């Protein structure tokens, strides 16, 4: 394949679809024709709007022209001479940019079980990010869990918390549609309010004990100080939403006075390959996610709210930057290209 249609952010608030040459496949690489790719709505909107402070890790990462995307599904179109575990025609999940064709190392792709549809498999990378966070939390059976932010990561955390045996999963958001989805997928209680107004409600639901684990998945720097009071004494606060202005995040006296532990979780936390001390790599977490989907223990296909022809990428991002409260899973359908 000589060329590929690719989605780019050419500058702040500027989206373009361009045709570019496809790189040669190395001996240990594969060429994949994408079928679907999932927009990471929070991350990609921050990148497009340049909604981050100078000198941050965002500033170092986002250089225009910038190619967004990292959670895709496709069919192997070519394999390198040294590749033995994949063959042409295999359906794979891979951390690829939004593009018609992607060239990647074969060991970065994971075969998709036949029972897992593309619309579910495309969630794999976001599912790994959420799964990594719940591992960092080291949940115990019967935990009371608070999830602040019912976006795509929040919806996944709700389902993982349910699988881990949480007693209560309490979701806080100001978008009723998101709260309804969370309730459908395992939330025991939903609170349509700001986290700063939720302490009394959380105390009431937990008989005054507060939450064992609180997740801040908003990406809003102002939320962190309001999340601390929702955790019980010696509870945990997981910071999963990556803000573009980390210097604006503020600690509170809850860390010292009540022993609340703050834990950060990021997609770069897992090791790149399995070792004797860290089994849960992205590959193994992806395979586990597919197992849960196959068993019917996790449901993400019904979280897909929008599908776009990649040639209309500018419309997709315009919708998300104007008001994404009614959007959840937003897919680019690469099979629509002629």
Check whether residue 150 and residue 233 sit in a common domain: yes
Is 88 contained in some domain?
A: yes
Whether pLDDT at 173 is above 90: yes
Is 281 contained in some domain?
A: no
Cα(78)–Cα(164) distance, integer angstroms:
39
The dihedral sign for the CA sequence 85, 90, 93, 98: positive
Whether pLDDT at 338 is above 80: no
Domain CATH for 250: 3.40.50.720
Closest by CA to 150, choosing from 187, 108, 120, 119, is 187
H helix intervals, the chain: 41-49, 57-61, 118-121, 124-137, 152-163, 176-184, 199-205, 224-227, 254-257, 282-295, 313-322
Query: Residue 150 CA to chain centroid, in angstroms?
Result: 12
Using the 3D structure, point to which of 264, 284, 312 is the last residue of a domain: 264
Check whether residue 133 and residue 29 sit in a common domain: no
> What pLDDT, on the 0 to 100 scale, is given for residue 261?
97
Is 285 contained in some domain?
A: no
Cα(49)–Cα(41) distance, integer angstroms:
12
Check whether residue 134 and residue 247 sit in a common domain: yes
Task: Work out the pLDDT band at 38, boundaries 50, 70, 90.
Answer: very high
Mean pLDDT calculated for residue range 271-280: 68
Check whether residue 241 and residue 130 sit in a common domain: yes
Check whether residue 187 and residue 304 sit in a common domain: no
Is 100 contained in some domain?
A: yes
Is 272 contained in some domain?
A: no
E runs forming strands in the chain: 3-11, 14-21, 29-38, 72-79, 91-94, 101-105, 110-111, 144-148, 168-173, 189-192, 211-216, 231-239, 261-264, 304-308, 329-333
Cα(271)–Cα(45) distance, integer angstroms:
27
Is 235 contained in some domain?
A: yes
Range of weakest confidence among 43-52, 198-207, 272-281, 300-309: 272-281
Check whether residue 239 and residue 172 sit in a common domain: yes
> What pLDDT, on the 0 to 100 scale, is given for residue 275?
65
> What pLDDT, on the 0 to 100 scale, is given for residue 323?
87
> What pLDDT, on the 0 to 100 scale, is given for residue 274?
62
> What pLDDT, on the 0 to 100 scale, is given for residue 78?
97
Domain CATH for 79: 3.90.180.10
Check whether residue 220 and residue 187 sit in a common domain: yes
Range of weakest confidence among 102-116, 129-143, 256-270, 310-324: 256-270
> What pLDDT, on the 0 to 100 scale, is given for residue 277?
63
Using the 3D structure, point to which of 240, 264, 288 is the last residue of a domain: 264
Is 275 contained in some domain?
A: no
Q: How many domains does the chain have?
A: 2
The average confidence (pLDDT) of the chain is 95
Is 83 contained in some domain?
A: yes
> What pLDDT, on the 0 to 100 scale, is given for residue 273?
63
Check whether residue 113 and residue 200 sit in a common domain: no
| Residue span of the structural domain in which 240 resides | 126-264
Q: Which tokens in the block code for residue 98?
A: 């939004």
- Mind listing the pLDDT tens digit for each residue in 44-60? 999 999 999 999 999 99
Cα(247)–Cα(55) distance, integer angstroms:
11
DSSP state, 308?
E
Check whether residue 146 and residue 209 sit in a common domain: yes
Closest by CA to 140, choosing from 278, 236, 270, 282, is 236
Check whether residue 38 and residue 54 sit in a common domain: yes
Check whether residue 116 and residue 145 sit in a common domain: no
Closest by CA to 258, choosing from 240, 281, 237, 231, is 231
Using the 3D structure, point to which of 204, 239, 264 is the last residue of a domain: 264
Check whether residue 169 and residue 236 sit in a common domain: yes
């Amino acid at each position: 394949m000589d060329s590929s249609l690719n989605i780019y952010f050419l500058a702040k608030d500027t989206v373009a679809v361009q045709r570019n040459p496809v790189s040669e496949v190395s001996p240990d690489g594969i060429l994949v024709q994408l079928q679907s790719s999932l927009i990471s709505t929070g991350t990609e909107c921050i990148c497009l709007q340049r909604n981050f402070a100078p000198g941050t890790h965002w500033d170092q990462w986002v250089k225009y022209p910038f190619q967004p995307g990292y959670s895709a599904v496709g069919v192997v179109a070519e394999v390198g001479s040294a590749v033995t575990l994949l063959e042409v025609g295999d359906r794979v999940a891979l951390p690829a940019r939004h593009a018609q064709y992607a060239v990647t190392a074969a060991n970065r792709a994971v075969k998709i079980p036949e029972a897992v549809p593309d619309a579910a498999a495309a969630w794999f990378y976001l599912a790994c990010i959420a799964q990594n966070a719940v591992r960092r939390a080291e949940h115990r059976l019967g935990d009371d869990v608070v999830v602040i932010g019912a976006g795509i990561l929040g919806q996944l955390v709700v389902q993982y918390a349910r699988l881990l045996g949480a007693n209560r999963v309490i979701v806080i958001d100001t978008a009723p549609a998101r709260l309804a989805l969370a309730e459908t997928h395992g939330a025991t209680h939903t609170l349509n309010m700001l986290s700063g107004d939720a302490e009394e409600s959380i105390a009431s639901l937990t008989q005054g004990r507060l939450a064992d684990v609180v997740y801040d998945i908003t990406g809003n720097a102002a939320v962190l100080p309001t999340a601390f009071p929702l955790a019980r004494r010696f509870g945990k606060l997981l910071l999963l939403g990556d803000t573009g202005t980390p210097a604006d995040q503020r600690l509170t006296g809850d860390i010292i006075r009540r022993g609340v532990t703050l834990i950060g979780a990021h997609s770069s936390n897992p090791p790149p390959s399995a070792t004797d001390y860290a089994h849960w790599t992205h590959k193994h977490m992806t395979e586990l996610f597919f197992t849960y989907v196959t068993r019917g223990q996790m449901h993400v296909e019904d979280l897909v709210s929008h599908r776009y022809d990649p040639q209309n990428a500018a419309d997709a991002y315009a919708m998300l930057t104007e008001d994404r409260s009614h959007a959840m899973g937003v897919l680019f359908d690469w099979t629509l290209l002629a």
